[in-house]
Amino acid sequence: MKNFWWLLLRGVLALLLIITLYQLWLFAHIAWWVNHNPSTTAFMEQRLDVMQETNPDAKLEQQWVPYNRISNHLKRALIAAEDAKFVDHEGFDWEGIQKAYEKNLKKGRIVAGGSTISQQLAKNLFLSTQRTPWRKLEEAIITVMLEKTMDKQRIFEIYLNMIEWGNGVFGAEAAARHYYKISAAQLSAFQAAKLAAMVPNPRYYDTHREAKGLQRKTGIILQRINDADIP
């Protein structure tokens, strides 16, 4: 019996060591990205794998551009659409989470999310698309790391360059060129609002660009765009 408890203790300690090392590995990447641009994300790699199952030659569209070469219209549109309190919160919008929970409870299914821009970036950088309690916990830990290590502008810059905007389309520059044949710096308020409206379901809207729901949401974002604060 004594040997059993000793082995159990060793197993627990080994597990804790692995978890600690993994967190340090995550933090090392985040610290590096304060001054260096990520070349890819876990989500981008997953999407490329899926695309290459049917087309081995498939490639992602993505081109990094610095923060000051992305239209302020797009920055404001995304904050208006995804995270109105981005510049003020520390990674989590507790009021937004509560409202999303109540809305999902009322509908009996998940129809709204309360994730902030920081949480979305945490998920895309490192995690799988599976919804599990462990993933949500890890997402929260990474979100805290991002918020404590980077300023808001850097978090937003990485987000703007790495989020999905269509089938194999990632980042503001690729999205602007894919949908409008212009650079991210040239996006108008309407174009930016429509891109922001696509974010929750970009692959669908890539092939359904005149969907009524997309047009309605674009109009709502346009009404809110001038009230959005950007870092």
pLDDT at 168 over 50: yes
What was the pLDDT predicted at 110?
A: 52
Q: What is the fold of 37-227?
A: Penicillin binding protein transpeptidase fold (1.10.3810)
Joined together, the tokens standing for residue 60 give 């992602």
Cα gap 59→24, rounded to integer Å: 31
Question: What is the arithmetic mean of pLDDT over 52-68?
Answer: 96
What was the pLDDT predicted at 5?
A: 72
Q: Kindly report which listed range (9-13, 62-66, 100-104, 157-161) carries the lowest average pLDDT score.
A: 100-104
CB atoms within 10 A of CB 196: 27
pLDDT at 98 over 80: no
Residues 51, 141 contacting (CB under 8 angstroms): no
pLDDT at 102 over 90: no
Tens of pLDDT, residues 13-57: 888 888 999 999 999 999 999 999 999 999 999 999 999 999 999
Question: What is the arithmetic mean of pLDDT over 106-125?
Answer: 77
Joined together, the tokens standing for residue 187 give 């996006």
Cα gap 215→211, rounded to integer Å: 6
CB atoms within 10 A of CB 165: 25
Q: pTM for the complete prediction?
A: 0.90
User: Angle of helix 133-149 relative to helix 2-33, nearest 10 degrees?
Assistant: 40
Question: What is the arithmetic mean of pLDDT over 204-228?
Answer: 96
pLDDT at 111 over 50: no
